[in-house]
Structure 1
């Protein structure tokens, strides 16, 4: 009987240690990776264009244990990738430029923000890589001010749809072309 109690005590302790170890590793995997800087030779994951050659906000998705970064020449291309059925439910961290804190012609990577918390102006007269893009902002009031000046509709991340991307949502054709969906 005493031996059975000792075995039970050891099993309970082992289980407790296992649970503690699992919960610690869970916290480590949930740590949010930092945004990655855009380098001069980086190519868009969707279209293959050199990202830094174009104005407007850029996007990136960081996924997996290796924290592989997929970079996009525009928020439009980022959403085109994110909204694909095979990516919609993936666990990835997304970043975009806060256009209230950086220049349109050459966005500064110090202004990268969490894309899921951002507000977007769809259908403005401002162009990004190869034409229409979604202007991204950390604050709704900044997005509204941008929409007042340049046109468009303010939407939250969760409200952006493929229709916003494919129909243009009133977007202009900008630099003479657009990506195909």
Structure 2
């Protein structure tokens, strides 16, 4: 009888140790941030549906916490347009953008992806991204200031960017000009 109790206690101790260890690992994995995902040929922007490859300027991506779903954006402007929507603004998505001090504007290298919430952004600069105006992203405020001095604009932290900063007019020659047409021109 003594031997059976000893085995039961030992089994219980091993089982308890295993359960505590398993719970500890799950907590560590839940706290770990997912790594950035490289942009691949054929990836489409989650906001506008454009193929991302081949466009200049910084790109963005959002990775959801629970299911690790990756949403990719052709520009930082589209990433902010999505992230600042009421249903997304308070979610703790992991966000990445290109550090434009570390990569080429015309073809950003995914090795330069950085935490978007810790980045600095230049809004209203002369440099265009995938669909026109974009937010140039930088890991360091000093690099953002150098860019601002060269191309204009204003330096902001992630938390300072608002929908007003990304809602800029589309370039001339777009569909805004449709309003200038009279009814007779549209009938032709």
If the TM-score is normalised by the length of the shorter chain, which range does it land in? 0.7 to 0.9
Q: Which of these two proteins has the greater Rg computed from alpha carbons?
A: 2
Residues 15-71 of structure 1 show CA distances to partners (whole Å, capped at 9, x for unaligned) of: 998676544422211111111111110000000001113100000001133311100
Counterpart residue number, 2:37:
36
- 1:91 Cα deviation (Å)? 2.1
Unaligned 5+ runs, structure 2: 1-12, 176-188
TM-score, normalization by structure 2: 0.79
After TM superposition, give the deviation of residue 129 of structure 1 in Å: 1.1
Q: 1:150, CA displacement in angstroms?
A: 0.1
Once the two structures are superposed, what CA deviation does each residue of 1:56-113 show, in whole Å capped at 9, x if it has no partner?
A: 0000001133311100000000000100010111121000000000011110001000
Partner of 1:57: helix, strand, or coil? coil
Q: How does 1:53-72 map to 2 (within 5 A)?
A: 53-72=54-73
86-95 or 20-29: bigger deviation: 20-29
> How much is the aligned-residue C-alpha RMSD, in angstroms?
2.5
1:122 aligns with 2:107: no
Number of residue pairs matched by the alignment: 166
Distance (whole Å) between structure 1 residues aligned to residue 147 and residue 173 of structure 2 = 23
Q: Secondary structure at the match of 2:38?
A: coil
Aligned to 1:100: 101
* Structure with larger RCO (C-alpha < 8 A, sep 6+): 1
> Normalising to structure 1: TM-score of the pair?
0.81
